[in-house]
Structure 1
Amino acid sequence: MAPTTSTMPATGIRWADHSLALAQRATPAERRAGTAAPAFGTALTEHMISARWSPEHGWHATEIVPYRPLRLDPATVALHYGQSVFEGLKAFRRPDGVPVLFRAADHGRRFQRSAARLAMPALAVDDFVAALSALVRTDEAWVPYEEARSLYLRPLMFAADASLALRPAATYRFLVVAFVTESFFGSTAGPVSVWAGRDYIRAAPGGTGDIKYGGNYAPTYLAQQQAAEHDCQQVVWLDATERRWVEEMGGMNIFFVRREGGRDVLTTPPLTGTLLPGVTRESILTLSAGLGLPCAERPVSLSQWRDEVASGVITEAFACGTAAVLTPIGRVVTEDGGFDAGAGEPGKVCGRLRDALVAVQRGVVPDPYGWRTAVR
């Protein structure tokens, strides 16, 4: 059987599918069994996108191939110096069964910003979106119909030179893999407990905290171990300078619901260059306006959080991200003790916003923002 191709717009990159004549990795029954309760990042689909970049040829060797291990030289730059960026976004089923990507172009623009920060080549947003569409189209059988699940897409670009010279690489590899997932904390998870320690920081001014860079994540593992030692599921990150201001929760943006003048006001830390500009964060800020919920981007300190919970000003706190959607925070633990941050169950504002977000993602309501991309 001859390979089939799907043409990407804008630059005309073509993704050649060389796998259609090959045996499938799993039958439909095996796929259902293997994704019955998938741990995050384990139920990977059968194919992946692959492309290469060089100064002479630009993006080339673009194809859809069976999911398989990579062959890398031990001197590959990305392995030694961390020149690697990634994204994370989801595909959902509309009520009519058509798969849709959620805010793919926005993730493509952030992917470009991340690449630029690490002196890597840009991938056109249209090509980025078309690559995702090509993979979803090829592995459409893996896109769940259940509301509690989705198909998570992981685009990745890394330096591919086999050289230990301390400089930007000359060649790069682009990949996209996908896996079936529930919410990051599980489909029935309630409010999480969080550890607000001061030993470690996530990001500093002038660093890479505002991009999707692999090196932002491994340094958080020790803090996550501390959290587990204090019976917490996640870490609340404080600013690098004063260890005072709340910035993020794990790899997620954080929101507070405050009572001001007899009404709820949604508050989130401003983007100062150390926080990741989350696409889910931006979606919540947009959707909240349609729900008549005022928003404010302003700093919140850890002590303010504690005191305003005690006084009844802060009534809810939750984190948001592509993997976790919206996750309520139930308790904050610090070196000096801790405090309850909620009533032990998701708050009403968090619930309203989550319902509004999921409805747009799954095509249950109109999409006035142009966030959904149908894959046909």
Structure 2
Amino acid sequence: MESQLKITLSEQKKEKPSSDKLGFGVHFTDHMFTMDYTKGKGWHDPQIVPYSSLTLDPAAMVFHYGQAVFEGLKAYRNKEGKAWLFRPDQNFKRMNRSLNRLSMPLIDEEFMLEALKQLVAIEKEWIPTESGTSLYIRPFVIATDAFLGVRASHTYKLLILLSPVGAYYAGGMKPVKIYVESNYVRAVRGGTGNAKTAGNYAGSLKAQEEAKEKGYEQVLWLDGIENKYVEEVGSMNVFFKVKGEVWVPALNGSILEGITRDSTIQLLKDWGVPVVEKRISMEELYEAYTRGELEEAFGTGTAAVISPIGEMNWNGRQMFINGEQIGELTSKLYDVLTGIQYGLVEDKFGWSVEIR
């Protein structure tokens, strides 16, 4: 890094929203982080500045060829009022994997972690204190060259935005209804499915809308080649408890390597619960259901942490899991993971990073 982090504090502070008006991704804090990249110079001019709009050329390549990657993580307050991050180093590692896949310049992970800690420290008062609330953190990188030709950009901008968010389960945790998508596909091996890139999400919106019209909250994606193997649910990885074992779709190049997914697997193994990472066909899953062996199902992700699945619809065949009730293992995982994040449960894995 050619220059040290420059900090410019805002002279005018925003009014903070009340806890019942937080929502998700609606409000933004007083400051943001920015840094630029120029080919031949590298990343330069890292700054924490007052939150403001961007000015981009209409020909900026991000608008035309989609070079954009992002991450999502959260900051929490524990019972003593201290601020914590949950495994932020893993987010920057994954960002580098995404950047590499889209031919974008890699970041210095250690520098970015320190810059993030400084940004959150400045905005610490924006971390809400009510149960289940948090400060959502969105790092992202976009291509900025003004050029209408198909190549990797020579200039980029990295930003980090902060947004206070309400409790995901404000009315209590409830199982979600999942529609198994058999028409559209999300990704294929060799594509960008394991990168956290904007285009993956744009391509998923149509299926999500159609599932909602059918009365389902999320889409379960199948593999893009044979259209038979389970991959992931919307913005979450997915787990199934079958006869005491927990089945997880194996990472195959088209599934996002979720940080909450990895944390969940580590917890399960620590508890002695058998975890099997493998290719899971819908036929195999449906047969387990008909035999009464599919005991629980849940998704994992930054927003919900753990999201119980109560119903799945596969080509008109409905599966009602655990009587559409939250399973014992699902509930335990949610309690322990959120307990670690909020400092209520011992963090034996060293996942929490304090903001000083």
1:47 aligns with 2:31: yes
1:49-68 matched pairs, under 5 angstroms: 49-68=33-52
Q: Deviations over 1:265-321 (max 9, x none)?
A: 111000011100100000001111222212110122222222212212110000000
User: Residue 295 of structure 1 corresponds to which residue in structure 2?
Assistant: 275
- Aligned mate of 2:309, from 329, 333, 336: 329
Higher mean Cα deviation, 123-132 or 209-218?
123-132
2:286 aligned residue (282, 306, 322) = 306
Aligned length: 356
SS at match of 1:157: strand
Residue 14 (structure 2) aligns with: 25
Q: TM-score, normalised by structure 2?
A: 0.96
Match of 2:234 in 1: 250
Which of 73, 77, 99 in structure 1 is aligned with 2:83? 99
What displacement does 1:334 show? 3.0
Match of 1:366 in 2: 346
What amino acid is the match of 1:209?
G
Query: What is the deviation of 1:19?
Result: 2.0
In structure 2, the partner of 1:345 is: 325
How far residue 186 of structure 1 moved from its aligned partner, in angstroms, is 4.8
Q: Partner residue of 1:76? A: 60
* Matched position secondary structure for 1:343: helix
Please give the secondary structure, in 1, of the residue aligned with 2:120: helix
Distance change >3 Å, CA 184–CA 366, structure 1 → 2:
closer
Unmatched tracts of structure 2, length 5 or more: none
Matches within 5 A, 1:89-238: 89-184=73-168, 186=170, 188-238=172-222
Whichever residue aligns with residue 12 of structure 2, its letter is A
What letter is aligned with 1:225? E
Does the CA contact (< 8 Å) of 1:230 and 1:333 recur in 2? no
Does the 8 A contact of 1:202 with 1:216 survive in 2?
Answer: yes
- 1:15 matched residue in structure 2: 5
Task: Kindly report the root-mean-square deviation, in angstroms, between the aligned alpha carbons of the 2 structures.
Answer: 1.6
CA contact (8 A) 1:331 1:342 kept: no
Question: Partners of 1:122 and 1:187 in 2: how far apart?
Answer: 41
In the TM superposition, what is the alpha-carbon distance from 1:164 to its structure 2 partner? 1.0
Note if contact 2:2-2:44 (Cα within 8 Å) is conserved in structure 1.
no
SS in 1 for 2:322: coil
Local SS of the residue matching 2:85: strand
Which has the higher mean CA deviation after the structures are superposed, 325-334 or 304-313?
A: 304-313
Structure 2 Cα separation of the partners of residues 187 and 103 of structure 1: 27
SS in 1 for 2:193: coil
Q: Structure 1 residues 321-330 or 56-65, which shifts more?
A: 56-65
In 1, Cα distance between the equivalents of 2:322 and 2:181?
Answer: 20
